[in-house]
């Protein structure tokens, strides 16, 4: 063997280890299913890179007391594998964090996924190499791999956010963000605890910490509309019933507007009397959970309907909280119900009847800074042993943009999205060929029961990749025209609702400096799914497909196989 040949084979061996058909970032619900589809169904080489030391995503990181699903367990799961559906038994109507995490571990083991996941590695950059038509992925250990396809499965709610209060690190007690909760048990016994934030997370954590803490002080900026979850254990009879009807239940969920197996019970509350509306709301309230939100189909488009539904909750809050003045502080009046993500609760309002729980309204007396001893508002200094930040996430785009993603001509995704996300179908971005985003901005994602939307995306992306590989089409990229049209459609649909009137993370309002744009697609899971399937059926309408691998060596212009919509 000549010296040259030896060198060549060494390079080939090296390349074989570091070059893949697809690199996927994230090993939550999305990344796990992607790996299974691409590797096991389609025989492609795949590497998943995950910064945690285990699978689970959201359910790995959010271990705070009270962390629990708001989707019902029997539909907060994968539907693609009958064995998994059959073998896994949920214990409650809404599973707690450890149970969802255990479920995802079970899936990873059942499908033998771990062997292709690199844990404790964080992707720091993804750069598209135009000459070779491949993505170069770099991780925090400095190593680099390449892939034809780069798929982000980094999640919509995975970059914890703490407002810039000042002094956070100076606090001498213990402090935690709920989205990065320690693995060891945290004791609140007899302690003076602060919880900042009353979103879906705060509303779950507050009733859990209060009974254990010596004193609990809740810092609330915006009161929320929490609806009773009405959680309960599931027994064998429930599970048998679910499993017997699983096909029908899942079919309903996958063809619904929100990915849940139920739709709005009534069209509108408009024109009805108070009594008539209450009669329709009461049974849904008794059922609990998101079923209440889906009492009327025009909740988020019709202020009259929304006002009825909001008022009903306001009355329940006033009824529950013993101290009328405190009750009034907990009643939301500045936004319509469900225009901020609607939380479910178990004993949230009841918790404020405890002697050891206090509420500080930070609209009246804003937080000035965190001090070594606690929290300083414009009105007082509060001393604490522990501070819990339930202050949410840099949602939808934060985790994606944390990676330095560069497409054609070195364009960064951050530059591209400086005025807000622009995508085609919430799946792909012009100038970023062969990149896909699972539950990306401008797809239904967080406005749905997410495993349903995740399955729709994973199936679409994996089938697209498989079809391109089979046809030897090396590049796929949405046209600018298609991207502009989808972005405009998103804007219009968003603005036809009440969502855009509220300050929310859906709009990017929670993170200073973020462009104010309604980010998820609100046209409905069913409508959206039909739309992406139709684009694929029309030979990837709205995308450009490059002709052949031979042409990739030529830098600059890329020849096109089909141009469905010109730029």
Given 209, 294, 390, 405, the residue binding ligand NAP (CB under 6 A): 390
Q: Are 137 and 150 in contact (CB under 8 A)?
A: yes
Residue number with CB closer to ligand FAD (126 or 564): 126
- Alpha carbon distance 406, 129 (integer Å): 9
- Alpha carbon distance 130, 156 (integer Å): 28
- Binders of ligand FAD among residues 114 to 133 (CB under 6 A) are 122-123
Rounded (5°) CA angle 521-451-43: 110
For 507, the token pair is 């709009």
Q: Kindly list the distances between the CA atom of residue 398 and the CA atoms of 155, 305, 504, in Å, as whole numbers in the listed order.
A: 10, 33, 15
Given 139, 152, 201, 434, the residue binding ligand NAP (CB under 6 A): 201
Which residues have C-beta within 8 Å of that of residue 283, sequence separation ≥ 6? none
- Binders of ligand NAP among residues 424 to 483 (CB under 6 A) are 446
- Alpha carbon distance 266, 283 (integer Å): 12
Q: Are 535 and 541 in contact (CB under 8 A)?
A: yes
Which residues have C-beta within 8 Å of that of residue 396, sequence separation ≥ 6? 156, 421, 441, 445, 446, 505, 506, 508, 519, 520
Q: Are 55 and 105 in contact (CB under 8 A)?
A: yes
Q: Note whether 367 binds ligand NAP by CB under 6 A.
A: yes
Given 69, 123, 250, 359, the residue binding ligand NAP (CB under 6 A): 69
Given 197, 433, 494, 508, the residue binding ligand NAP (CB under 6 A): 197
Residue number with CB closer to ligand NAP (358 or 565): 358
Given 20, 23, 28, 520, the residue binding ligand FAD (CB under 6 A): 28
Shortest approach of ligand NAP to residue 146 CB, angstroms? 34
Q: Note whether 70 binds ligand FAD by CB under 6 A.
A: yes
In the chain, the N- to C-terminal Cα span, in Å, equals 51
Given 23, 24, 26, 231, the residue binding ligand FAD (CB under 6 A): 26
Q: Note whether 157 binds ligand NAP by CB under 6 A.
A: yes
Candidates 58-66, 78-86, 270-278, 463-471; binding stretch for ligand FAD (CB under 6 A): 58-66
DSSP 176: E
Q: Which does 50 bind (CB under 5 to 8 A by kind): ligand NAP, ligand FAD, none?
A: ligand FAD
Residue number with CB closer to ligand NAP (369 or 408): 369
In sign, the C-alpha dihedral spanning 337, 445, 391, 71 is: positive
Q: Note whether 397 binds ligand NAP by CB under 6 A.
A: no
- Taking residues 431 to 470 in sequence order and writing x for each that binds ligand FAD by CB under 6 A, - otherwise, the string is -------xx---------xx---x----------------
Q: Note whether 293 binds ligand NAP by CB under 6 A.
A: no
Q: Output Rg (C-alpha) for the chain, integer angstroms.
A: 25
**In this structure, how many other beta carbons lie within 10 angstroms of the beta carbon of residue 418?**
10
Q: Note whether 259 binds ligand NAP by CB under 6 A.
A: no
3-state secondary structure 352-400: CCCCCEEEEECCCCCEEEECCCEEEECCCEEECCEEEECCCECCCCHHH
User: CA nearest 440: which of 427, 429, 430, 450?
Assistant: 427
Candidates 36-44, 167-175, 215-223, 467-475; binding stretch for ligand NAP (CB under 6 A): 215-223
Shortest approach of ligand NAP to residue 359 CB, angstroms? 12
Q: Which does 52 bind (CB under 5 to 8 A by kind): ligand FAD, ligand NAP, none?
A: ligand FAD
Q: Which residues pair with 219 in a beta bridge?
A: 196, 360
Q: Note whether 375 binds ligand FAD by CB under 6 A.
A: no
- Alpha carbon distance 292, 125 (integer Å): 43
Give the footprint of ligand NAP on this chain (CB under 6 A). Answer: 68-70, 157, 163, 196-202, 204, 219, 221-222, 341, 362, 367, 390-393, 446, 505, 510
Site for ligand FAD, rule CB under 6 A: 25-31, 49-52, 57-58, 60, 62, 67, 69-71, 76, 122-123, 153-158, 201, 399, 403, 438-439, 449-450, 454
């Amino acid at each position: 063997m000549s010296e040259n040949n030896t060198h060549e084979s060494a390079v080939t061996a090296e390349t074989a280890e570091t070059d893949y058909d697809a690199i996927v970032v994230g090993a939550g619900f999305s990344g796990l299913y992607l790996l299974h589809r691409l590797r096991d169904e389609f025989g492609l080489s795949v590497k998943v890179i995950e910064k945690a030391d285990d699978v689970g995503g959201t359910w790995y990181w959010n271990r705070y007391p009270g962390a629990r699903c708001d989707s019902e367990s029997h539909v907060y799961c994968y539907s693609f594998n009958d064995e998994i559906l059959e073998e896994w038994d949920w214990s409650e109507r809404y599973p707690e964090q450890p149970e969802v995490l255990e479920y995802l571990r079970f899936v990873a083991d059942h499908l033998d996924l771990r062997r292709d996941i690199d844990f404790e590695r964080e992707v720091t950059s993804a750069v598209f190499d135009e000459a070779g038509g491949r993505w170069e992925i770099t991780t925090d250990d400095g190593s680099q791999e390449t892939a034809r396809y780069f798929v982000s499965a980094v999640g919509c709610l995975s970059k914890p956010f703490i407002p810039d209060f000042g002094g956070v690190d100076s606090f001498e007690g213990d402090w935690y963000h709920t989205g990065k909760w320690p693995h060891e048990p945290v004791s609140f016994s007899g302690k003076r605890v602060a919880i900042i934030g009353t979103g879906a997370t705060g509303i779950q954590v507050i009733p859990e910490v209060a009974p254990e803490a010596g004193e609990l002080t809740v810092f609330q900026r915006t009161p929320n509309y929490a609806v009773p979850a009405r959680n309960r254990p599931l027994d064998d009879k429930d599970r048998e019933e679910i499993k017997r009807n699983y096909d029908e239940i899942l079919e309903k969920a996958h063809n619904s507007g929100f990915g849940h197996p139920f739709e709005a019970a009534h069209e509108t509350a408009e024109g009805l009397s108070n009594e008539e509306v209450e009669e329709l709301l009461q049974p849904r309230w008794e059922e609990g959970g998101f079923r209440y939100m889906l009492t009327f189909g025009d909740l988020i488009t019709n202020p009259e309907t929304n006002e009825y539904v909001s008022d009903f909750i306001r009355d329940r809050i006033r009824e529950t909280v013993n101290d009328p003045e405190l009750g009034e502080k907990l009643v939301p009046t500045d936004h319509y119900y469900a225009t901020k993500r609607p939380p479910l609760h178990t004993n949230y309002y009841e918790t404020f009847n405890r002697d050891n729980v206090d509420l500080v309204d930070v609209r009246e007396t804003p937080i000035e800074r965190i001090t070594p001893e606690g929290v300083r508002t414009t009105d007082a200094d509060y001393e604490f042993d522990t501070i819990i930040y339930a202050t949410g996430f840099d949602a939808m785009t934060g985790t994606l943009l944390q990676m330095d993603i560069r497409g054609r001509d070195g364009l960064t995704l951050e530059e591209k999205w400086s005025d807000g996300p622009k995508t085609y179908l919430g799946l792909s971005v012009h100038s970023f060929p062969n990149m896909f985003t699972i539950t990306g901005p401008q797809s239904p994602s967080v406005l749905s029961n997410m495993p349903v939307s995740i399955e729709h995306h994973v199936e679409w992306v994996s089938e697209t990749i498989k079809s391109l590989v089979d046809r030897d089409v090396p590049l796929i990229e949405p046209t600018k025209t298609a991207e502009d049209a989808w972005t405009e459609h998103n804007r219009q649909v968003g603005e036809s609702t009440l969502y855009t009137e509220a300050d929310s993370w859906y709009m990017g309002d929670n993170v200073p400096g973020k462009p104010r744009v309604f980010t998820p697609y609100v046209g409905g899971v069913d409508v959206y799914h039909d739309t992406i399937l139709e684009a694929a059926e029309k030979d990837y309408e709205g995308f450009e497909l490059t002709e052949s691998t031979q042409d990739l060596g030529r830098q600059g212009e890329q020849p096109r196989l089909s141009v469905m919509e010109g730029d």
